[in-house]
Chains A and B, each alone.
Chain A
Amino acid sequence: MTPTLAGRIETRIFINAIIAFPILATLGFPEVFFIMLAIGVAMDFAYNFLQLKRWDGDWPLVFVIISGLVEGVILWAALSLIIRLDLKTYLSMYGIIWLLMFILQASFLHALFPYRRFRGGRIL
């Protein structure tokens, strides 16, 4: 599936809200959710810019994985300015949340929103 900017942002908010928020809120870091989402949305503008540079204008799965790593590093840098967090805890927390979101995005989202793939990933 090839996302548009609007599709990216809507999808991000949706999967973050149903996976990242409950996990982070339960663990007692609700503020991390908002920082994570803000970084992600900001990065979406950059990804969209890069995506349009590609001849096919698409965003293959491998780029989704790379962008997950990049965002993980940026989030770690941002969080270490605000709160004290142990790297090991951070890695396992971010890793699990990201993996769950990746699986949801690459699989069940298609089954729930069949019209998305023809609308640049838009949910609304």
Chain B
Amino acid sequence: MGSSKKYVLVGGGIGSFCFYNCLRVHGVPSNDISVISPNSRPYEQLKLYCDNLGLKSEDRLRSDSGSRPDNFWGFPGYGLSEAVEAIHNKQLIKSISLLIKLICEPIVFGYYTPTAGRVYKSIDKEAKRIGWKDSLIIGKALSLTKLPDNKYAVTYKNQGKRKKMIADYIHLSLGHGGLGKDSPYKDNKSLFTKIRRSGGSVLVVGRGTAAAKTVEQLLSINGKKPIQVVSLHRGELASHKDYRNRKQRKLMSWRLQQFNWPRSAFGGELLEIINGSGVNEYEDFWGSPSAIPEKNFIQTIKDGVKNRRYEIVYKKVKTNYVINCTGFRESTERNDLYTRLIKKYNLPVNKNGGIKTGEHFEIEELCSYKGRVFVSGVAAAGNNYGPVDSFLGLQYAALKATESISEIKPLSLEESFSGWLKWLKGEKI
């Protein structure tokens, strides 16, 4: 018999961190929760992906100011915090220009986006405040079993030993699993060095952010030997108008949009529409892979075409190198725990490769009158929330899951405000 906790969070990334934060803010003590993860810091995997993509700490992410996993309330956003920090550092001009940017976004200087370093630092700070380490068990979860008494058993490996943990509520958020060997999210430094040295042609498969970043990086290499870059896209953009008759920006067959879904799909009108009929119906319009309309990217592509160093093809061509930037979204089949769970309980999987869930991100087949198994992040894709694998989406999923736990009461006005004041002062909870 193993130990027992009320809540067990499997995976220790941003998805689990958001749920942990939500529970703690709603008054759940840290000793009621266990987090099983091979990583000690919640952003370790995220940072690894960013590092491999060439996104350094000072580079800005594709996320807005209010989407901050370290702040349950979303206010102040990263932007305001950065402006206040600039005042403290006596950088008045920087602070004023940030405030102007925030007030005038996106009309004057585009949208504010936080740097990767700011995200890491603020998650560290919040993790300390809410006692993340007190609940953390460094280990790897192996399996999940539904027990006859409405509880669940998680087996995991910790310090070389196989252990078991019993829980009333389970939250699964295991991220993107193993990626293909030619994925840009893997360490590709040696491949890039090789390409730089030898020159030649490179095929970049995909039209999402990673593909855009990879193409941009390759085209900016100014080595002695010429590099030819070819993008392989699934096809020309069939329609760049959605059902509202809104036009999508495009550049050749790159879809251009600031965030991976239109902003109102995160919490406005489009969210309500998607909530009603599911993601699949709208994904082609709003959630397909897209690139950020950054000046630098657009210019690099245009220059590449002009100098005949860049082209887009719709059928595979022979090149010296191939970098595959697709497949970041299919996760359940690459993750052993998910694969086994789906097989064992015959769980329905949707066409996006996500596990089918109810509106509170619960896997209905595994729930009982009291017990719940939630799934968040990329493995919950294709249900009724589009951007579930984003900072704000993970916070949304965490909140929806918390809402369905009957013993947790929603925060009253006073509770919310005093909780926020504590956050502002950095007071431990």
List A residues at the B interface (Cβ < 8 Å).
1-5, 7, 51-58, 60-62, 65, 107-108, 110-115, 117-120
Contacts and interface: CB of A to CB of B under 8 A. Distances in A.
Interface in B211-265: 244, 246-249, 257-259, 262-265
Contact of B264 (A56, A61, A65, A112): A56
B270 A61 contact: no
Nearest to A119: B267
Interface of B: 66, 72-76, 102-108, 244, 246-249, 257-259, 262-272, 395-396, 399, 410-411, 413, 416-417, 420-421
A120 B107 contact: no
Contact of B72 (A2, A113, A114): A114
Given A4-B272, A110-B75, A56 B416 contact: no
Given A57-B262, A107-B75, A62 B417 contact: no
The 7 A-B pairs of least Cβ separation, nearest first, read A2-B268, A57-B264, A110-B75, A58-B263, A111-B420, A56-B263, A2-B264
A62 B416 contact: no
A4 B269 contact: yes
Contact of B262 (A56, A61, A112, A117): A56
16 contacts: A1-B268, A2-B264, A2-B268, A3-B268, A4-B269, A53-B246, A55-B257, A56-B263, A57-B268, A57-B269, A60-B107, A61-B102, A111-B75, A111-B420, A113-B413, A117-B74
A54 B257 CA distance: 12
A111 B424 CA distance: 10
Given A2-B264, A55-B262, A112-B417, A120 B105 contact: no
Contacts of A115: 399, 410
Contacts, number: 99
B399 A60 contact: no
Contacts of B74: 1, 110, 114, 117
B416 A118 contact: no
A8 to B, nearest CB: 10
A54 B247 CA distance: 9
A112 B244 CA distance: 34
Contact of A57 (B105, B248, B270): B270
